[in-house]
Amino acid sequence: MLAGLCLCLAACGGPPQRGGEAEPPAQQSAYAPPPELTDATRGADGGVTLSGRAPPESRVRLNSPEGQSLGATAGKDGAWSLALAPSATPRMFALSAEVAGRPVRGEGPVLVLPAPGPPALTPRAGFGALAVGRATTPTIVALDYDAGGGAAVAGLAAPKSSVRLLIDGMPAGSDQADDRGRFAIMAVGGPVSAGDRLVQVTTDAGGAQARVGLSAPTAPGAAAYLARREDGHWRIDWSLPGGGVQTTLVFDVAPSGSGGGAP
């Protein structure tokens, strides 16, 4: 499912289509970049401050399935910031910005986590998450998978560095970190089956690894997502917009001075 959804996302990345024809140039010129999360910090009280980019002076909104709604206005430079109260459980918010009276949705929801997880990240349907923060050595932030065995590993490394993925010691894909140091690698070579798995990423500057026990995604039922604590990570099972369930494992932040990387 992950691979198929990834292809769908790529195919749907251009201008909206109507009746098989491109929209008129006047409407295409009104394209606005989607809002995004670019940073997240946790305060001493456990509250999380989110920062991001959006179309200049647009109204940015975070809406939760439970009915919580938060808003901020992006500055002339497109920067926005929102402070969230502490929570003992993970929370997921839809991210959007209102531009000229119409909503522009983010690339994925915003997932806000209690310690020891990272403060926040952006899960993406059918692909790996977008991490926030900086790392000079590779860090595994999240592992996404579905019932069909599709999987993707996301994290942080030095900007523009080449990142290689291994699963159970076997090469499973590669990516180049972007200018913020983010990477997301689709696992290739066949489905990743349930059971205990060793996930590793390596770069010329070092490596990181995580040992995880994968089990089948759990349908959240009437809820939009289910969150629970497991050994060394938070587990989020969430319903996809087009149907199906994706599981996102978000690994604990390494203690200060440990050199980064997942446990």
DSSP line for 98-137: EETTEEEE-SS-EEE--TTS-SEEEEETTEEEE--S--SS
Q: Tell me if the domain spanning 32-112 has CATH number 1.10.300.10.
A: no
pLDDT at 72: 97
Q: How many whole angstroms from its chain centre is CA 103?
A: 20
Q: What is the pLDDT of residues 120-133, one digit of tens each?
A: 999 999 999 999 99
Q: Which residues pair with 55 in a beta bridge?
A: none
**Distance (Å, whole) CA 144 – CA 166:** 15
**Whether pLDDT at 256 is above 90:** no
Nearest-10 Cα torsion for 169, 175, 178, 180 = -10
Query: What is the rounded CA–CA span in Å between residue 234 and residue 143?
Result: 11
Q: Which of 145, 135, 138 is nearest to 174 (CA)?
A: 138
Among residues 140, 84, 135, the alpha carbon closest in space to that of 111 is found at: 84
By the 8 A CB rule, do 175 and 152 touch?
A: no
Please work out, in degrees rounded to the nearest 5, the angle formed at the alpha carbon of residue 251 by the alpha carbons of 248 and 253: 145
- What is the arithmetic mean of pLDDT over 103-126? 96
Domain with CATH 2.60.40.10 in the chain: 1-20+116-263, 32-112
pLDDT of amino acid 25: 42
Beta bridge partners of 127: 124
Kindly indicate the confidence band of residue 136, based on its pLDDT and cuts at 50, 70 and 90.
Answer: confident
Contacts of 243 (CB under 8 A, 6+ apart): none
Q: Please give the helix or strand (H or E) that residue 231 lies within, else none.
A: none
**What band does 241 get if pLDDT is binned at 50, 70 and 90?**
confident
Quickly state the pLDDT bin for 17 (edges 50, 70, 90): very low
Q: Which pair of tokens denotes residue 221?
A: 């039922």
Q: What percent of the chain has pLDDT over 70?
A: 85
Task: Say yes or no to pLDDT of 19 above 80.
Answer: no
Pick the more confident residue, 248 or 11: 248
- Note the pTM of the prediction, 2 decimals: 0.85
Q: Which residues of 221-247 are buried (b: 16+ CB within 10 A; e: fewer)?
A: eeeebbbeeeeebbbbbbbeeeebbbb
Compute the distance between CA of residue 251 and CA of residue 235 in angstroms, rounded to an integer: 9
Residue with token string 């996102």: 248
Give the model's pLDDT for residue 86.
97
- The domain defined by 1-20+116-263 folds into Immunoglobulin-like (2.60.40)
Q: Flag the least confident range among 24-33, 51-60, 221-230.
A: 24-33
What is the C-alpha separation between 130 and 153, in angstroms, rounded? 10
> Would you call 107 exposed, middle or buried from its count of C-beta atoms within 10 A (0-12, 13-18, 19+)?
middle
68, containing H or E segment: none
Quick check: 224 pLDDT over 60?
yes
Report residue 30's pLDDT band, with 50, 70 and 90 as the boundaries: low
State the pLDDT at residue 2: 53
- Average pLDDT for the chain: 87
Q: What integer pLDDT is reported at residue 29 of this predicted model?
A: 44
Give the residue-averaged pLDDT of 215-230: 95
State yes or no: pLDDT of 257 exceeds 60: no
